[in-house]
Structure 1
Amino acid sequence: MAKRKYSDETKEQIVKECREIGNTALVARRHNISKHTVYSWVKKAKETGSVRSLPKDEKKKMKEIENRLDKMSDENDKLKKIVAEKELELAILRELRDNVNPR
């Protein structure tokens, strides 16, 4: 069987779809790709943050790693903010609940 090359964009799309659906085998079947191939893409995305390969050149590699780290840091900050807002909402709702129904 001939080995097919997939673009990084295609790999990212399929990994994103796997995360959304939660069933890697189903996504692989839908795209007519071996489930083992898709599992390896998902694993690589979890380990490195992206399915894109790092460049061979050391300077470019470091630049790409820094970019990925910055992107992950930004996403992490956004998620922390969302969690803090939800915790505040829950605290307010608990306070309202306790004031309306004192025990």
Structure 2
Amino acid sequence: MQSKKYSQELKKQVFRESLEVGNAAIVARKHDLSANMVSRWVREHKNQSNIGFSPVHGNGSYNQNAKALESENEKLKKLLGEKDLEIAILRDLVKKTNPQFKIK
């Protein structure tokens, strides 16, 4: 059986989508490809280009971007913690007011 050749453009598109989605299997299903093949393309592309992993030399924009992302990440973690606490409080309230109500 002869192996199928895929264009570099398709490989780049699949790589970008895989980074956006964060799941190679979903992207593979969308393009009717093997999840292992998509994972291999992503791994090879990261090894070749190191996109997003090397700092930008010169004006320090990499450090500014990293700090902004870290700050946003901390805010989102705090918000997630608050939402988890709110959910726990609401579940307790439901249990107290409606004991017959089943909560997963």
What band does the TM-score fall into relative to the shorter chain?
0.5 to 0.7
**Greater RCO, 1 or 2 (C-alpha within 8 Å, sep 6+):** 1
Could you state the TM-score of these two structures normalised by the residue count of structure 1?
Answer: 0.53
Partner of 1:83: 84
The aligned length equals: 82
Give the RMSD, CA atoms, in angstroms: 3.5
CA shift digits 1:24-75 (9 cap, x unpaired): 334224236732234x4xxxxxxxxxx7445422621211110110121121
Please tell me whether Structure 1 or Structure 2 has the larger radius of gyration of its CA atoms: 2
Matches for 1:11-90 after TM superposition, within 5 Å: 11=16, 13-19=17-23, 24-31=24-31, 34-35=37-38, 36-38=40-42, 40=43, 52-57=52-57, 59-90=60-91
Matched to 1:27, the amino acid is V
User: Which blocks of at least 5 consecutive residues in structure 2 are unaligned?
Assistant: 44-50
User: What's the CA shift for 1:6?
Assistant: 3.5
8 Å contact from structure 1 (residues 54, 64) kept in 2:
no
Could you tell me the percent identity over the aligned residues?
Answer: 12
**Alignment CA distance shift 1:57-1:80 (3 Å):** same
Gaps of at least 5 residues in structure 1 are 41-50
Query: In the aligned structure 1, how far is the partner of 2:64 from the partner of 2:22?
Result: 28
Runs (4 or more) in structure 1 with deviation over 3 Å come to 1-7, 13-19, 31-34, 51-55
TM-superposed deviation, 1:85: 0.9
Larger helix proportion of the pair: 1
